[in-house]
Structure formats: C-alpha cells, structure tokens
Structure 1
Amino acid sequence: MKQGSFDLAGLMNRRILVMLPLGFVSGLPLALTSGTLQAWLTVGGVDLKTIGIFTMVGLPYTLKFLWAPVMDRVVPPWLGRRRGWMVLTQLCVAIGLVLMAATNPKVHPGWMAAYAMLVAFLAASLDIVFDAYRTDTLHPQERGLGAAVWVNGYRIALLASGAGALVLADHVGWQMTYLTMAAVMLAGSFIVLISPDPTFVAEAPKSMKEAVGAPLAEFFGRPHAVGFLAVIMLYKLGDAFASALQTAFLIGGLGFSATDVGAVKGLGVFATLLGAFWGGLLMIRSGLVRSLLIFGVLQAVSNLGFVALAVAGKNGTALTAVIVVENVTGGMGTAAFVALVMSLCDPRYTATQFALLSSLEALGRVFAGRPSADVVALVGWTQFFVLTVVVALPGLWAVWRIRHSIEPEQKVAASTDVKESVATPISN
C-alpha cells in the first residue's frame, strides 16, 4: 500500500488485529502491582509506611533495558525468538499472580512484596518482548494503526485491572480477583499461539557481548543518531510537564472535587483511545514525518486549554472539553511516537533498542514533577501552562531538523540480514 492510499479493509489483517488482545495482555499486570495492590494493602490493614515501600515494586519497568539484551540473544526452543519469550513470560506472570493471591499481605507483607516485585519484573520482561514482536511484525505503513490498536488494548487492560478489579474485589474478594486475573493472563498465552510469525526475521546476536554492545554501536553509527535521540527525549516533553501536576491543578488550584476529576479523567481514557485510533488511521494518508509534526503541534496547542481553564476558573463544561481535547491529541501523538520508535529499531536488536529508547522517553515523565512545582510556585498556573507549550517546541524542531532521515521503509531495506515473510490477510 502506498502512502496516501487508504484501504481500511486491507489493513484488517492478522498483524493488526492481534495487536488488540496482545496489548491487553501486556497492560494487565501493571495496575495489579501498583494501584490495585495498594487498594488491597489498605483494605487489608497494612500500615501506610509499608504501603509506601511497595511503591518501589514498579522499579523493573524503568530498568527493563538492563536485561533486554538477554531477550535478543537467547532463543527459546519453541515458537521462535519473539513468540517463544511471549508465551514463557505470560505463563510466569500468571504463576506470580497466583502466588500473590495465595498470600495474606497483613500476615506476610514481605512475601507479598517479593511476589509483587517478581510479577513486575516478569511483566516488564513481557513488555520488552511484546514491543520487539510488534516492531518485527508490522509493516512500515501499518505501524501507526498497529500502535494505536495496541495502545487501545493496553488502556482497556488498565481499566480492567484497575477499576474493574476493585469492583470485582468487593464482590468476590481479593484472592479470587487475583486468581481471575491470573486466568486471563493464562488465556492470553493462547493468543500468542495463533499470532502470525514476525514479518522481519533477523539472526540473533551470537554472544551476550554482541547483544549488549552491538545495538548501541549500530544506533550511534547512523548519521543522525543524536537527532533521533533528541526527538525521542523531547517530542512528548511538553505533555509530560502539562500532566505532571494536572490533578493538583484541578483540585487544589481550581477547587474541583476528587469525584469531578475522577469522572472526567475516566472520560479522558476513552478520549485517548479515540485519539490513538484516529491518529493511526490518519497516518496511513499522511505518513510518519507529517504525522509527527501535525500531531505534535496539536498536542502542544491543546495545553492552552489549561490556560483558558485557569482563567475561567471552576467550570465543569470547560473542564470536560479541555480534558477530552488534551487526551485525543495526546493519543494521536502517542500513536505517531510509538511508530517512530519502531521504525528506529534494527530487527537484530529490537528488544534492546526499543527498551532503551522508550526508557529515554520516560525520563521526562519521571523527572517533570519537581521542576513543574518550582515553576508553578514562581509564575503561577496560567504562565506555567503557557510554558508547557514552549517546552514542546524543541521536540517539533528536532523532528523538522531530521525529517528526511525518518524513513522507516529505508530502515527496513537497509537491514540486509533481515528476511521478510508474508503474513496472510484475513479481511476476505
């Protein structure tokens, strides 16, 4: 399919359709080791200091690039390098959730913390191999839509393991809730069995030394490597600053209730799903570079809605409009950004390179909180949100600066050690 053409029926093939359930399985464990687990600990009577320690359970998600080379180097004896790891890690996550379900957090908080950390490690490993599989399976022109479908599955899973698990726990208890989630993870392994083989298959690194060093050498050997890193680190930075203290602004700055904010943020989740899917469809016509620029401008300009909200004050209608627009444009930007990261990965080292690049992007979200608070204290909310638009501009400039090098088709063609296998559409 050429850029600019649009054939939705032709895109509804196994490669695209399987991204929804696989995205769901990828996102399911996250809340079960964070927000949902905190709720279980609180209801179970665990003291607040101990609950605070449990927040460290999410550390593997930020450090997953450290063991990603293992998943590039080691090839399981079943289903190949990507699908083999997918089945293995899913089964292990399910076992970990069973262990959590069998543990009383009030009586054995240490064991619960150990099992939760194990599940987080395995789930982060699952993310590594899922990212690699998605990158190696989707054709360049499918990456925008495929990423959008994946994001939708991931977000739906967050709802299921977050709000859905809380409701379920009120009816059947925490142990049965976690056992149910383990069963869902187990069922997800069957999705892998019917998933297509990767489209772009490369030989695994021959040693751990190659698996660790070659991905970096290959990436930094490219003419515009520094420019690519600038785009990765800066493209979503404006969004990161705008969202860092968003809840504090709405509740503490404008006086909305927690219920008001919770309700509109729930609506925002669905707006993100819509934005991601819409962005994926638009990318088929516009291509990657134009989409990055257009969606980047939209997600930057959407921050001005918070400026208007700061001026207007407490207004429910305005709040809903601002959150919806912000989440739609953010979802569009995310679809384009994930497609970009996929296009930058060499199929020989997809797991390692994707993990490294996504970790660099996450730095903005991790460290935006404290600087945001300092800026708000200095200039106030209105000027702060104006500045978030300014913060987004370097990312757009970086995209424009290397626009001629962002060509996923060229990247695939340049991988001489890669062979392409044909995946069969199921649209007919």
Structure 2
Amino acid sequence: MIKASYFYLHCIIGWCNFTLTASSIYLYLGVPLMMREYGWSGTEIGLFQMSGLPVVVKFLLASPIDRFRFRQSNYLMWSALLGGGFICCLVALSLANIESTSFKVLFVIAVCTSLITSWLDVPVNAFAIQRFPENERPKTGAIRSAVTALASVVGGGVMLLVYTNLGWAWPFYIFGVMALLGGIFLYAAQGHYPVFKRQGADLALPLSGTTKISFFVMWKGYFQRSDMLMWNVILVLYFPFIGAAWLYLKPVMLDLGLSIDSIAWIASGSGVLAALASFGYSLFIARVSPYRALFIFSLVNVIALGGMCLTVAIAYSDWRLISAVLGVAIALGLSSGVLFGLIMVYSRPHLSASDYGLQSSLFSLSRILVSISAGIILDRTGYVGMFFGLITGSLVVCVLSFFWLCKKEVANVEL
C-alpha cells in the first residue's frame, strides 16, 4: 500500500473526530447560551458543565475495549456499538426541547451523551493507530488537532445559527447524520486498510493475548516502557498553559471593550487559523523531528503568551489585540498538533485503546487543573498576573523540551 493511499483514512478518522468534538462543543458551549435565553439560573448552567466530567476518566472507559475483545475487528465493533449509543443520545437530546424539559432530565441526557462521546473517541482513534504505519501516526494526530479547532467554529458558532433558524432539534439531527456517515466510512475503511504489521517484540504481542491481561497490568506496562517518564511530564505540562490562555481570550476581549459581535468574528477567525496551523504542521511533519518541533513550538507558546501579557498590560483594544489573539491561535494549533501526534506514537498498537485513553485522561486532567488555577490567579492579580503565571509555566516546558531534544539527538548519534 503506497503512502498516498493513507490520505483517505486520514480523512475518515478526521471526519469522525470532527463529529464527536463539534457535538461536544455545541452541548457545552451552545446549549448553555440557550439555557440563559430561557431564564435558567447561573447555578443550573454551571452544574450543567459537570456533565462533561467523564472525559477525565477516559482511561477507565478505554481499558475494557482492550480487555473484552470481539473476535474480529475489535475496534470497529466497539465503534459501531458505542456509535449506536451516541446516535440514541442525540435523538434523546432532539426530543428534550429546552422550552419544556426540566433541568434534571436534560442533565441526565447530557451526562449519558458525554459518557458515550468520551468512550467512542477511544476505539475510533485506536482503529487509526492500528492501521497507520508509524510514520503516518503523528500526521493523524496533527489532523485531529486541526479538526478540533474547526469543530470549535462549527459547534460554537454555525450550529447556533442552525438552532436560531431551524429550531432546537436540528443541530442534533445533523450530528446524527454525520455520525452515521462516519460509521459507514469506518466500515468501508476496514477492508481497504488492514491492520499494519509492525516489527519488534513488544509490538508483536498477539492481540488475543491481551484478553488475559488485567487493567492494572495494562496501565503498569504503559508507564514501564523506556522514556515514558519524560514523555508523561511533557504530556501533562506542555499544552495546559497555552490552552488556558485560549480559554480566557473571550473574557479578555470583552473586558478590553470589544463588542460581542466583534468577539464572535475574531473567535471564529482564530479557530480557523488554529486549524490551519495544525494542518500546516501535518504537511511538513515528515521533515521535522517531533522532538525538535516540541521545542520550537514551546518557544512559540512563550512568545504568544508574552504578546498577550503586553497587550493587556497596555490595554490595547485595536489591531494589536487582534494580532495577539491570532498569535495565541497559531501557538495553540501547533502545540496541539505535535502533542496529539506523539500521543499516537506512544500508544502501543496491541493496546491502542488503553494507552490512548490513559494519555487522554492525563492531558484532560492537567488542562482542567491549570485552567482553574489560572482563574484563581486572575481573580487575585488580574490578567497581567495570570498571563505572567502562564508564561512562567511555559518557560519550564521550554527547558524540559530542550532537554528531551538533546537526549534524543544524542541517542540518535550513538545509533
């Protein structure tokens, strides 16, 4: 199979990730806006966000996929099973019209949807890890980052227009059709892209043997591999600082005097730019070592955060603020692209679901904790203090990335 043929599999996995991410963003950013429109309290809106917590325990959802295997096409069958549940949840949401549904009912449906979405994400990406050769796996991670940024534009913007013009149910209908198409594409891909054969003792473990491995042994085996300590430190620390800056961009722009309409346009443009940055990285991924990219992009993060810190310190509200926001978008796209790519690389093919879920949980938990900490710093010191704290954390990441790059290059020279 020639390298160019993997283009279609990249598109299929990208479509599936786009569908899951866009629906999640709409549920947790779009629906609260409607809740406010119909007079729901701030407490109810805040509690509604708690329904998204299953993403933190994704490692608990992922391991059964490798522990309890179907005899054939394990990840495809799990995707089909959970995909059916996802479509059922979307149908339930379409029927739970916000004008007549109680908070308890909507909350329970949202929890079920979040649980299924987080769970379904695992076999879909494990399917990709199994079928891509190692040199293609970082690319699918970068493309996943790009579609995530685009999903923020669709889920947080386009679908709100669909709701405004067509009503409550239609966004969920559209997501349901997208999910159904994704399932058909995955089924078609199974025949065209067989499981990629890999060399090496660790990777050659028979798939059937994993049914006898306990959850604890799966997790322990993930951490016991060489170089995993540094990778997990990078995984936990690399993205949350630029991610927290991205989270607080809209409040920053609002407090600096920009109108809601202007913020909406800037946010949409920033999401597209972040997607283009990730996609651009995926095009050159074969020419740049991921460890070199980690270090370079960590420097980009520091520069972008420094620009935002300077902008809020001087209180710019013109093109310089927009430029700083776009700089954060570029840094976000590049950082998430290289990080998602390495998540694919450091997932063992015979335990793709377990490793991918464990790494996703570490990534999500650190992002949540840093965002909360940034909010506490914001309340006590203001935006300048918050961005200074994010810059400090990013500088630590720069040092760690440089150290890992040097270690990898020395190892390559010795080989």
Q: TM-score, normalised by structure 1?
A: 0.83
C-alpha displacement at 1:72, in angstroms? 1.3
Whether the 8 Å CA contact 2:141–2:339 is kept in 1: the answer is: no
Find the counterpart in structure 1 of residue 130 from structure 2.
136
Q: Tell me, in whole angstroms, the C-alpha distance in 1 between the residues paired with 2:68 and 2:385.
A: 51
Amino acid across the alignment from 2:236: M
Whether the 8 Å CA contact 1:30–1:158 is kept in 2: the answer is: no
Q: Tell me, in whole angstroms, the C-alpha distance in 1 between the residues paired with 2:395 and 2:271.
A: 25
Q: Tell me, in whole angstroms, the C-alpha distance in 2 between the residues paired with 1:110 and 1:10.
A: 49
Whether the 8 Å CA contact 1:57–1:116 is kept in 2: the answer is: yes
Whether the 8 Å CA contact 1:250–1:261 is kept in 2: the answer is: yes
Q: CA RMSD of the aligned region, Å?
A: 2.9
Pair 1:117–1:237, CA change in 2 (3 A): closer
Q: Tell me, in whole angstroms, the C-alpha distance in 2 between the residues paired with 1:150 and 1:128.
A: 13
Which residue, 222, 225, 236 being the options, matches 2:225? 222
Amino acid across the alignment from 2:265: A
Whether the 8 Å CA contact 2:149–2:333 is kept in 1: the answer is: no
* 1:103 and 2:96 aligned: yes
C-alpha displacement at 1:320, in angstroms? 1.8
Q: Tell me, in whole angstroms, the C-alpha distance in 1 between the residues paired with 2:226 and 2:81.
A: 37
SS at match of 2:354: helix
Whether the 8 Å CA contact 2:12–2:182 is kept in 1: the answer is: no
* 1:251 and 2:276 aligned: no
Aligned length: 400
* 1:352 and 2:345 aligned: no
Residues 27-426 of structure 1 aligned to structure 2 (within 5 Å): 27-44=21-38, 46-76=40-70, 80-105=73-98, 106-195=100-189, 196-199=193-196, 203-204=206-207, 206=209, 210-252=213-255, 254-376=256-378, 380-403=382-405
Q: Tell me, in whole angstroms, the C-alpha distance in 2 between the residues paired with 1:356 and 1:125.
A: 12
Whether the 8 Å CA contact 1:58–1:120 is kept in 2: the answer is: yes
Find the counterpart in structure 2 of residue 418 from structure 1.
none
Unpaired stretches in structure 1, ≥5 consecutive residues: 1-6, 411-428
SS at match of 2:126: helix
C-alpha displacement at 1:261, in angstroms? 2.4
C-alpha displacement at 1:336, in angstroms? 0.8
SS at match of 1:223: coil
Whether the 8 Å CA contact 2:94–2:172 is kept in 1: the answer is: yes
Q: Tell me, in whole angstroms, the C-alpha distance in 2 between the residues paired with 1:156 and 1:241.
A: 18
Amino acid across the alignment from 1:95: C
SS at match of 1:174: coil
Pair 1:367–1:217, CA change in 2 (3 A): closer
Whether the 8 Å CA contact 2:55–2:364 is kept in 1: the answer is: no
Whether the 8 Å CA contact 2:10–2:143 is kept in 1: the answer is: yes
Whether the 8 Å CA contact 1:20–1:150 is kept in 2: the answer is: yes
Whether the 8 Å CA contact 1:264–1:320 is kept in 2: the answer is: yes
Of all paired residues, the percent bearing the same amino acid is 17
SS at match of 2:69: coil
C-alpha displacement at 1:30, in angstroms? 0.4
